């Protein structure tokens, strides 16, 4: 491959990886925008999502690399599996909020954040014990269809990932901006007490935010598994930290910022690995996190807001 072809191939890889980070970052930004809480349980929700999506795909008869689907069968199977995974993990997010975080809602200090760390470790260790720390092979039902454009290879797998991720991200953005519930979410993010006095059910809004964020984490877990053809207990930590960096970079609490940050971090990871060294990827990414917090704490698209009185 020529130098230009390698560059554009890494752009393709970076956008695909960035789509996963963007979906994860949206979960962080939804919860933070409403509760000003960093939900560290989101790391492990993503990881468990990859495993449960694997089980769902196996229930559809997709085992290993041997079963290849085509046409409507491929689209319907993947969409139904994705929908089931998202509903299951939306429900998990609601359970986490209802039974571990809501009792902490009025407790000052870092107790709620520490609770999310505890939930994350519980999920992490449950999967670690259940899988005996083994990586599991993911089914690959997509046919080997690829398009060659000037030396750059674009696979069907990547095209489907872009379409699904774009639909989910745009759908969430429209949901937040155009619907009555979305308006309520924005009102609670600005001032929860004022929103409550205006008749907004704050508990319901928070529950919906956790459902949406966790559902997107489940979707990201399934996309990750299908793209890399494996899953293991450690993927939540590595992908979660990058997604958190993406949320901060874009402006945590800002939905378009989370999307942009995810794509940017994906591109930085792939291009940095190609032109510097893969072992320097984390150094580059977290240097960007520190630089953003120091020089532009509101992120690329965020705005600093006054403290609530």
Kind plus residue range of the DSSP H or E element containing 108: none
Read off the pLDDT of residues 108-159 as tens digits, 9 standing for 90 and up.
878 888 999 999 999 999 999 998 888 899 988 888 888 888 888 888 889 9
- pLDDT given at position 309: 41
Residues in CB range of 98: below 8 A, 6 or more apart: 207
147 by DSSP, 3-state: which? strand
Is the separation of the CB atoms in 251 and 302 below 8 Å? yes
- pLDDT given at position 68: 84
pTM: 0.89
Look up residue 214 and give its two tokens.
Answer: 């966790």
Note the helical H segments in the chain: 3-35, 41-59, 71-96, 111-131, 156-178, 180-190, 192-197, 202-228, 235-250, 255-275, 281-295
Whether residue 227 is predicted with pLDDT greater than 80 in this model: the reply is yes
**Closest C-alpha among 110, 35, 231, 58 to residue 27:** 35
Give dist(CA 97, CA 252) in Å, integer: 19
pLDDT-derived band at 17, boundaries 50, 70, 90: very high
């Amino acid at each position: 491959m020529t130098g230009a072809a390698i560059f554009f191939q890494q752009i393709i890889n970076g956008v695909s990886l960035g789509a996963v980070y963007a979906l994860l970052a949206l979960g962080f930004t939804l919860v933070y925008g409403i509760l000003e809480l960093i939900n560290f349980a989101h790391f492990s929700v993503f990881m468990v999502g990859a495993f449960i999506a694997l089980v769902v795909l196996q229930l559809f008869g997709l085992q290993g690399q041997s079963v290849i689907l085509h046409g409507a069968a491929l689209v319907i199977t993947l969409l139904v599996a994705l929908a089931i995974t998202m509903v299951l993990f939306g429900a998990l997010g609601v359970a986490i909020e209802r039974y571990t975080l809501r009792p902490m809602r009025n407790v000052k200090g870092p107790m709620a954040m520490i609770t999310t760390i505890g939930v994350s470790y519980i999920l992490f260790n449950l999967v670690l014990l259940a899988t005996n720390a083994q990586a599991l092979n993911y089914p690959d039902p997509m046919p080997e269809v690829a398009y060659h454009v000037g030396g750059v290879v674009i696979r069907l797998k990547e095209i489907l990932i872009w379409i699904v991720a774009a639909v989910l991200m745009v759908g969430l953005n429209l949901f937040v901006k155009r619907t009555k519930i979305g308006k309520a979410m924005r009102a609670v993010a600005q001032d929860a007490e004022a929103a409550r006095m205006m008749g907004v059910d704050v508990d319901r809004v928070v529950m919906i935010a956790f459902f949406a964020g966790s559902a997107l984490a489940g979707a990201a877990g399934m996309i990750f598994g299908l793209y890399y053809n494996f899953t293991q207990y450690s993927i939540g930590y590595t992908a979660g930290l990058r997604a958190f960096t993406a949320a901060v970079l874009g402006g945590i609490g800002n939905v378009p910022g989370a999307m942009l940050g995810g794509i940017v971090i994906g591109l930085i990871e792939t291009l940095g690995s190609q032109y510097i060294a893969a072992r320097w990827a984390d150094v580059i990414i977290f240097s960007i996190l520190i630089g953003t917090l120091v020089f532009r704490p509101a992120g690329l698209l965020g705005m600093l807001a006054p403290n609530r009185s």
